[in-house]
Chains A and B, each alone.
Chain A
Amino acid sequence: MHSAKVDFYDRDIVSMRDLTRKDIEYLMDLAETMIPYARGDRVNHSLKGKILGNLFFEPSTRTRFSFESAAHRLGIDVIDVSQISETSIAKGETFADTIRMVDAYCDVIALRHHHEGAARLAANVSENPVINAGDGAGSHPTQTLLDLFTMKRSKGLIDGLNVVIVGDLKYGRTVHFLADALTMFGAKLTFVSPESLQMPRDIVDDIRKKGYDPYQTSNLNEVIDEADVLYVTRIQKERFPDPSEYKKISSIYRINNQNLREAKSDLIIMHPLPRIDEIALEIDRTPHAKYFEQAFNGIPMRMALLYSILGGEM
């Protein structure tokens, strides 16, 4: 490992705002060492006897399964809830009380919730550490961490990368946190979106305050040739009152071999998934496609978090 050791023992992971560059570098290096364990090529059950409370009050496939898989790879048992109707919240119990109860049954909580700020509240009332697995349209720090980890694994380093983020930049808060985190590493940012789905001004202002000036455009072709990373997000149908407008916009930003003609040969394409039709299937067979690897990287990154928070040993 290259980065300085950071003590994550017993620490909550609620927001990217709580993490420094040093913290993120430490987690990325630790995640790298977790890869053979994440693939099952090596075994480390040093956290046997620990219990993860996987509380998913909202549907999720990747995040929930990857937390569960990460826990099993480290020997951690998992108890889980996947619907509010399974909990006493359905009987009128407050969320805060539910967390206090679950806190008594496990050693760490991973929480997905439909209200923004739920993870911060859970961290405040819980004795054991809480990892935010996405709260409403709010923070989703483990996604941001695995996105950064994917860039670092593919490109060697994040500093100076030309990262083009394309799609719905207005409502997709994951990209707000990703853009913010990328400035910590000195990446060059370009935002591509239809005018109605541009990155909110306060996010752009925050980035500018840090001394960066992201380029904003609605024309992907104008910037594709310079991109090192193309981060694609889904444009949601429900954002457009007129279905024909949605069809028009989504086809403009659809990534296929034709609009990658000018792209660098080592361009990587990422997507938080699920994709609908933002990326043509023909791209899957190209070396540009990194989105399935990105989904896999969620496991070593979440292993790194569980391992460092619960005090695992190599």
Chain B
Amino acid sequence: MEDIKIAPIRNGTVIDHIKKGQALNVLKILGINENTVGPTITLAMHVHTKKDPSGWKDIVKMEDKELNFRTADKISLIAPNATIAIIRDYYVAKKYTVRIGDHIKGLVNCSNPNCITNVGEPVEPEFDIVSHDPPVLRCTYCERYTTNISENLL
């Protein structure tokens, strides 16, 4: 039996099967930083798993807060195989795998500083998803590729 590295939570969200090393970026998406006063967050990095070919995964648990779909979409960009479980009174009330379509709008900034979406025009950045894993986005406007997703999250 696998050792329990993080205690179960009573209510909240468990984000599991995060790509190894991406848990800190998931915290960034969740808006957790040194100024955050809010739910208790626990995370485990480099947890053994058979489901990922690398043999490793990260896990994030957030108490007393249920994740919304927009945030789940963002997480799917950096952790394409993550699962999200909504926990209510220790039971899994809902569980789903993050899934994003082939086109996204308003989640990420284009990495090209000279792109028309980065110069104060009233336009939301949009991308075609060229590859989910590893994530590669092509800007609908300037057609440049963005691969450093975590640095460009909106």
Give me the interface of A with B, judged by CB distance under 8 Å: 15, 17, 94-96, 113-118, 120-121, 124, 135-139, 202
Q: Is the CB of B123 within 8 A of A15?
A: no
Q: How many A-B residue pairs have CB under 8 A?
A: 55
Smallest Cβ distance from B71 to chain A, in angstroms? 27
User: Contacting chain A: which of B10-18, B45-53, B56-64, B114-122?
Assistant: B114-122
SS class, residues of chain A in contact with chain B: mixed
Smallest Cβ distance from A122 to chain B, in angstroms? 9
Q: Is the CB of B121 within 8 A of A94?
A: yes
Q: Is the CB of A115 within 8 A of B143?
A: no
Q: Which residues of B contact A15 (CB under 8 A)?
A: 143
Among A116, A118, A124, the residue within 8 A (CB) of B144 is A116
Q: Is the CB of B123 within 8 A of A115?
A: no
Q: Is the CB of B120 within 8 A of A94?
A: yes
Q: Cβ of B91 < 8 Å from any Cβ of A?
A: no
Among A94, A95, A120, A137, the residue within 8 A (CB) of B140 is A120
Number of interface residues of B (CB under 8 A): 18
Q: Which residues of A contact B121 (CB under 8 A)?
A: 94-96, 121
Q: Is the CB of B116 within 8 A of A117?
A: yes
Q: Which residues of B contact A95 (CB under 8 A)?
A: 116, 121
Chain B, Cβ-Cβ closest to A177: B143
Inter-chain CA distance A114–B120, complex, in Å, is 14
Smallest Cβ distance from A201 to chain B, in angstroms? 11
Smallest Cβ distance from B152 to chain A, in angstroms? 15
Inter-chain CA distance A138–B117, complex, in Å, is 14
Q: What are 7 A-B pairs with beta-carbon distances under 8 A? A: A95-B121, A113-B116, A114-B114, A115-B142, A116-B114, A117-B139, A118-B116
Inter-chain CA distance A121–B110, complex, in Å, is 14
B 85-141 contacts with A by CB, 8 A? 110, 112, 114-117, 119-123, 139-141
Q: Is the CB of B116 within 8 A of A137?
A: no
Q: Which residues of A contact B123 (CB under 8 A)?
A: 96, 121, 124
Q: Is the CB of B141 within 8 A of A117?
A: yes
Q: Is the CB of A115 within 8 A of B120?
A: no
